[in-house]
Amino acid sequence: MIKARHWQDPANAVIAVAILVSPWALGYQAAHEAMANAVIVGTLLFAVAVGAAIIGHPWVECAVIALGGWMVAAPWALDLRHVDATSVAIGFGAVVLALGLWSLVDGARPPARPAAPKPR
């Protein structure tokens, strides 16, 4: 089993699945732009989150941030009119964006040095 480099990566994978199934769970599958956005972004986010957990390079976290930013901007960029689709996009997008930024900043810090042994 592969251990995730950051706890945020598996969390983003779970959020990706929630985004992916949201059109059917919340009943906005008839809103074609909103459904396509959720399916595409959910699929991409899942793939990127799994990649981030395995690879752990900063560019992968940047892809997570870009997807989160797109989700936040999508209601205006796509002119989404369905309330649930807009709520999913903004809510999950903000969380994904925050987790991506957190993971990127956390990964940029040098690892903590172990404490020096105390003299006897």
Report the Cα 88 to chain-centroid distance in Å: 13
Number of compact structural domains in the chain: 1
Q: Mean pLDDT, the chain, as a whole number? A: 87
Give the pLDDT mean for 49-63.
Answer: 83
Q: Tell me how long the chain is.
A: 120
Domain membership of residue 114 (yes or no) is: no
* pLDDT digit string, tens, across residues 88-107: 999 999 999 999 898 888 76
In this predicted structure, the answer to whether residue 2 has a pLDDT above a threshold of 60 is no
In this predicted structure, the answer to whether residue 4 has a pLDDT above a threshold of 80 is no
Which among 87, 92, 91, 84 has a CA at the least distance from the CA of 23? Answer: 84
Q: What is the domain range of residue 88?
A: 11-108
Domain membership of residue 119 (yes or no) is: no
| Whether the model pTM is above 0.75 | yes
